[in-house]
Structure 1
Amino acid sequence: MEYTLEDSQRKEKLLKTVYTLQVKSDATFQKASPLLSNHPGMGLVTEHQVHQLAEKAKVICHDLDNIKNHLFYRQNDLVQQIPNPNGDHYGCVCGIHCSLDGVIYVTSENAPRVHILNRSGQALQTLPCVEWKKKKETFMPEDVTITRAGMVAVTDMVNGTVRIFNNHSKFSKGEWLRIGRFGSPRGIGVDTSGKILVADYEEGKVHSFAIDHAFKVQNTRSVSDLCGPRYVCSAPEGGFLVSEECGDVKLFNSSHKLVSSICSRYGHRFGNPAGVCTDREGNIIVADEQHRKIHLFPRSGSPICLVSKGLQRPTGIACSTQGLLLVADTGDNNVKVFKYRVRPHYDADILRTSGENPNLTPRRDGKLGFSTIPH
């Protein structure tokens, strides 16, 4: 009961603080705007005062962004653990992908198959990694993604290639097709334009290319001089993100130009960044294998630690559209599912439409309702 009372008091204090800032800024703007628009000069306002106010405003805006972000997210909320479908026979889970409809794709170390699971972690299908044209030779998938056409694509690090599973082949069980030649392909993803992204570890490169209807590689482009690229995913506004084993995550635009790195932009230091993904709001989420943590890097504000305990060796990660974070924990040999968003789920379009008014909250029917205290 005491916790509930303290929690309510904190909510009330926060709302009052934000409301006071809003009222004061509105009042100042209403008085200052006509004076600055219609009268020459600045009165007694000095350059130093303007600079000082601008700097304070930046700090306040940053603090408000942090408050907003911390209201939206939660930490260490483990809701499910999915055992490795391969058990302990082959190796630990390593690659993971979650489609828009919530279907989960999992690969394991030294296991010649891709497992397809439903949202509850129950097996839907298993794709044996067998090359029928070569006397049923098996291969070991490293990482997994889904192409724009809905086909399963994996990296084959041992054979230096990408493979795409073609359901419509002449073989009744489907066929894995070899796509391209690479040094040591590890991570794989698909960018917003539908091009396949491949992190080439030993070559220090990320390749992007399109696939035509005959599964031929087209329009190949590469980014070089990377330090052990591991995992790769699409960036929210085009381009891609890549994690480097030597301690950074870099953002490239659609023209393959370096935009920034997580370390420089947020002042964050990784131990060993591994899996990387983005959610529907455009936030970047990174698994730190060495520090055993998962951090979210918002569009504005400071980094947020989503998972700080319960991980042994997080590698691949993926987000679902239901506000869940899936972590392939190689150390525990399972997939851990965390609820990292508060309920109800805030839609980015709704927030923009409502002007991010904290008093407007989605009701159960999906419409906006008025509330004095956000849920």
Structure 2
Amino acid sequence: MKITAVRQAPLPITSPGANAVVDFAGLTTTAVAIDAETERGPLTGYGFASIGRWSVGGILDDRLIPRMMDAAPGAHLDADGRLDPVACWRLVMRNEKPGGHGDRAAAMGALDMALWDLLGKAEARPIYRILADRYRDGEADPDVAVYAAGGYYAAGDPIETLRAELSDYIDAGYRAVKIKIGGAELAHDLARIEAAIDTVGGADRVSVDANGRFDLRRALDYAEALAPYGLRWYEEPGDPLDFRLHATVAEAYPGPLATGENLFSSQDARNLLRYGGLRPDRDVLQFDCALSYGLPDYLETLAELDRHGWSARSIHPHGGHQMSLHLAAGLGLGGNESYPGVFQPLGGFADGVEIRDGRIRMGDTPGVGLEDKGRLIDWLRATFG
């Protein structure tokens, strides 16, 4: 295999409204295309930097892509002449100073996804099966639990609009949902929660997400108000790097907490596990491979979980996209987020896929499977040729 070109472009994403912190109008992410000559002929691997972070093309164009293209012949390959995404990761990340995790992590995540997509196409195998063979003795989950994330604040925020949205998710086969909190007064948020519980049929099917909005006092006020409901989880009550806040909330809140989607490295994950006060028997971690340097560093995060007594089943990756779904099935994670109605063209999974009792069955499309999302692959081909 010979890599012939690596390109990037900003990918526009439709806005779902607002959470407690961010209005998503005009949101973009970064898409990457890697062209290669292979034994199967010309192939292109596609990747993107997940959802919720702005495009990071400058880092790719200025540093990461030139290192990829300037590498010595064969540096991208393993001993058998096959593409080696881990070797590519090492050569692209050379001369990067430790720390500084943020947009660089998203840029590397997009490039890494495209490399794995290219490898899967070259081997004519879906990524989850490659991951299971490499890292789980061939054991892949045939299906994955998924929940529908939505419930964003809309203009006027009528409760009936929220009910209708959640009803659509249940009708589509989802059994668990997530809605936003923290962008309104507590009383209004509680009314939204009660409507969600009534609509989906139980508090254990409803998670709430504050998107890091609260200081400690307000996080604890919400914890006290939420505790009697018995919700599925209470997500990101405070700033994702305020581990002391999370530890204090964990002491006060008996139900499950969730966090991690805005931590972009195995080092930050280690500090969360050390100092965040989270409880392996109930809490949920949401690390997103496409926002955190890609698969090589994600494997380091999984190793940290094991060292701290956590199961990989505790991870339900953020992002609601195909790469996270492959990781969940191939590495034995607990489930996956889904954006069935928002953040298009990335949100949701393959066109026409059936959700049965809150689970999605894995397919056999080679690579990440972005070709199974019509609007997305049309944009990628129109943009990259």
Query: Higher helix share goes to which structure?
Result: 2
Higher relative contact order (CA 8 A, sep 6+): 2
- Tell me which structure has the larger Cα radius of gyration: 1
Using the size of structure 2 for normalisation, the TM-score is 0.29
Query: Higher strand share goes to which structure?
Result: 1
Using the size of structure 1 for normalisation, the TM-score is 0.29
